[in-house]
C-alpha cells in the first residue's frame, strides 16, 4: 500500500515523521529485512553454535542499542530506522521461538496471545492519540506505540506462520506463494474496494513476516529439504546487498525530496 499525499501533507510527513513513507521500496525492504533477520538468527543459533538463549541475549542487546539511536533521532533517518527493523524482526522471532522451544507453549496459544496483545496495543494507542496512522509518528509516545506494535507483529507473524505451515504441512515455495497471495488479497481490498488504509497496512505488515521467513527458508535450505541450497550465509549476503542498495536509494531520494519541499515552508521574517 503506497502513499499518495498532497505536497503539504508530504512536507509534514517528510520533515517531522520518524518512519518512512509506505512505498514499493518500503515493502521490499520490509520483506527482505525479515528474511535477513530469520537467516541471521539461524546463523548465530545453529552455524556459530551460540544457542537460542545466547543468541537472544546478544541480538536483544543490539536491538536495544539500535532502538535508543532511533529514538534519539529527530526525524526519519533510513539507516537508523531499517537497522532497527532488521533487529526487531530477529527479536520478535526469538520471542516466539523461546516460548515454543524452551517454554513449550503451543503455537496456537502464542498466536492467540500475541493477537490479543497487538489488539490491546492498538486500542490503547488509539484511545490516547486518536489515530493509528503511521504518517502521524511525530512524538515519543506515538513512536513507542509504533515500535511495540512492530515487535508484536513480528512475534505474531512468527507464531501464526509456523502454525499454518505445520498444520498444513506446506513446503517453502507453497508457503511463500500462500502468504504472498494473502498480501495480494489485502492489496486488492485496499486499492479496489477502498478498505481502511490503517487496517490494511497492519494486516499486510503482519503477513510480511511469514512471507519473508518462507523466502529465507526457500533460498537457504538444502535442495533435498525443498530449498535452493544457498545456506544461511549466502542468503543473508544476497538479501543484505539488496537491502543496502534500496536504503541508499531511499536516503538519496529522501534528501532530494526534503530539499525540494523546503520551498513549501514559510520564510522566516527578516528585520529591517
Residue at 92 is within a domain: yes
Q: Residue 83's CB: how many other CB atoms inside 10 A?
A: 21
pTM: 0.86
Residue at 213 is within a domain: yes
Residue at 29 is within a domain: yes
117-157 pLDDT, tens per residue? Answer: 999 999 999 999 998 988 889 899 999 999 999 999 999 98
20-44 pLDDT, tens per residue? Answer: 988 999 999 999 998 887 787 778 8
Residue at 147 is within a domain: yes
In terms of residue numbers, what domain contains 188? 21-258
Residue at 1 is within a domain: no
Number of domains in the chain: 1
Residue at 144 is within a domain: yes
Amino acid at each position: 500500500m503506497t502513499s499518495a499525499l498532497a505536497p503539504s501533507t508530504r512536507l509534514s510527513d517528510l520533515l517531522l515523521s520518524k518512519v518512512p513513507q509506505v512505498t514499493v521500496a518500503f515493502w521490499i525492504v520490509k520483506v527482505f529485512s525479515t528474511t535477513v533477520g530469520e537467516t541471521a538468527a539461524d546463523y548465530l543459533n545453529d552455524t556459530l553454535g551460540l544457542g537460542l538463549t545466547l543468541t537472544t541475549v546478544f541480538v536483544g542487546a543490539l536491538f536495544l542499542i539500535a532502538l535508543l539511536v532511533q529514538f534519539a533521532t529527530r526525524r526519519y533517518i533510513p539507516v537508523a530506522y531499517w537497522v532497527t527493523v532488521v533487529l526487531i524482526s530477529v527479536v520478535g522471532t526469538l520471542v516466539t521461538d523461546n516460548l515454543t522451544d524452551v517454554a513449550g507453549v503451543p503455537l496456537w496459544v502464542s498466536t492467540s496471545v500475541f493477537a490479543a496483545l497487538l489488539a490491546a496495543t492498538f486500542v490503547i494507542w488509539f484511545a490516547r492519540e486518536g489515530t493509528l496512522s503511521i504518517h502521524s509518528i511525530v512524538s515519543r509516545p506515538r513512536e513507542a506505540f509504533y515500535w511495540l506494535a512492530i515487535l508484536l507483529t513480528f512475534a505474531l507473524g512468527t507464531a501464526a506462520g509456523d502454525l499454518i505451515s505445520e498444520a498444513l504441512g506446506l513446503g517453502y515455495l507453497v508457503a511463500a506463494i500462500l502468504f504472498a497471495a494473502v498480501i495480494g488479497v489485502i492489496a486488492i481490498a485496499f486499492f479496489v474496494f477502498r478498505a481502511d488504509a490503517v487496517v490494511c497496512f497492519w494486516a499486510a505488515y503482519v503477513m510480511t513476516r511469514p512471507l519473508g521467513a518462507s523466502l529465507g527458508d526457500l533460498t537457504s535450505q538444502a535442495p533435498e529439504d525443498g530449498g535452493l541450497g544457498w545456506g544461511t550465509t549466502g542468503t543473508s549476503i544476497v538479501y543484505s546487498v539488496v537491502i543496502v542498495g534500496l536504503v541508499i536509494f531511499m536516503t538519496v531520494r529522501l534528501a532530494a525530496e526534503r530539499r525540494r519541499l523546503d520551498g513549501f515552508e514559510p520564510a522566516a521574517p527578516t528585520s529591517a
